[in-house]
Amino acid sequence: MTITAQDHARISAAIGAAEAQTSGEIVCVLARASSEYAAAPLLFASLTALLAPWPLLHFTEWSVRSLFAAQIVIYVVALVVLSSRRLRIALTPRSTRRAFAHRMASEQFMARRIGRTSGRMGVLIFVSLAERYARIIADEGVSSKVDPHEWQAAIDALTREMREGRVADGFVAAIEACAKVLAHHAPPEERPRRELPDRLYLM
């Protein structure tokens, strides 16, 4: 995944254009992964090492010391092989990956101060690539006016472009779709300044 300076500029411009139509504020966050999933290789390497002696006992006449040494070697080799990011993610259950991504989205909502805008009008567009997860979180001032299903067009536009590897296009399309929802439910008001930066955060 590569996000160029031009991509950042396009996304920032899209946010600025969207916010000109509404009193809401939009923040975009893109994460490469929502966790390191370090437990997966440890677990599978341990299980492999624990199960390995049984066929060795059946098919060989190795001593206990040799079996123990083989367990250690098998554990180390399995741990090294399974430690690549792709395998760590593949070995983690989908429900667990989704839970990690869901938690990271909530953490980013708080970390980017989206829940502290005046009128509680912040909206987060969050994507975690490794988990293929996309979510829109709206603060109270927006969610009290907007049915959750109204964000689906933005999610669909985002994931459609992401599947083709067009990350920046996905964010721009999602921002434009969110702008239509926000313009309808939260039209522009006189505000002294925008409270959140118009930018894409990379994690």
Check: CB of residue 176 under 8 Å from CB of residue 14: yes
pLDDT above 90: percentage of residues in the chain: 47
Cite the residue boundaries of each domain of the chain with CATH code 3.10.310.50. 5-35+93-202
Whether the predicted pLDDT of 158 surpasses 80: yes
Under the banding of pLDDT at 50, 70 and 90, the label for residue 3 is confident
What are the percentages of helix, strand and coil residues in the chain, rounded to 5?
60, 10, 30
**pLDDT value at 191 more than 60:** no
SS3 201: strand
pLDDT at 23 over 80: yes
Residue 169 has pLDDT above 90, yes or no: yes
pLDDT higher at 129 or 41 = 129
The C-alpha angle with vertex 158 and arms to 138 and 139, in degrees rounded to 5, equals 5
69 residue type, one letter: A
Predicted pLDDT at 1:
67
Q: Is 160 exposed, middle or buried (0-12, 13-18, 19+ CB in 10 A)?
A: middle
110-152: per-residue pLDDT in tens? 999 998 888 888 999 999 999 999 999 999 988 899 898 999 9
Candidate from 8-22, 79-93, 163-177 with smallest mean pLDDT? 79-93
pTM for the model? 0.83
CATH 3.40.50.150 fits 5-35+93-202, yes or no: no
For the chain, state the CA radius of gyration: 23
